[in-house]
Amino acid sequence: MELKLGKYRHFKGGEYELIGIAKHSETLEEYVVYRALYGDRGLWIRPKEMFLEEFVKEGKKIKRFEYIGE
């Protein structure tokens, strides 16, 4: 699945800016590079599969991160 650059909301409420996709130099696993849009605006990475993960919470299927725009 292709990811759009822009703003995402984490299921817990925080907003983040997806900056790009990076690859691990040894395994070639794809990682999402993103920045918090609150607090110290920390820079984070997470495996792409985990970023795209969906799960069931309180009986509802939700995305870990939901695209909210540019």
Nearest to 1 by CA among 24, 18, 26: 18
d(CA 32, CA 64): 13
* Architecture of the domain spanning 6-69: Roll (2.30)
Give pLDDT tens digits for 3-59.
999 999 999 999 999 999 999 999 999 999 999 999 999 999 999 999 999 999 889
What pLDDT shows up at residue 2?
Answer: 77
Domain parsing of the chain, residue ranges: 6-69
- Residue 37 or residue 69, greater confidence: 37
What pLDDT shows up at residue 57?
Answer: 86
Contacts for 43 with CB less than 8 Å, ≥ 6 apart = 19, 33, 34, 35
What pLDDT shows up at residue 70?
Answer: 81
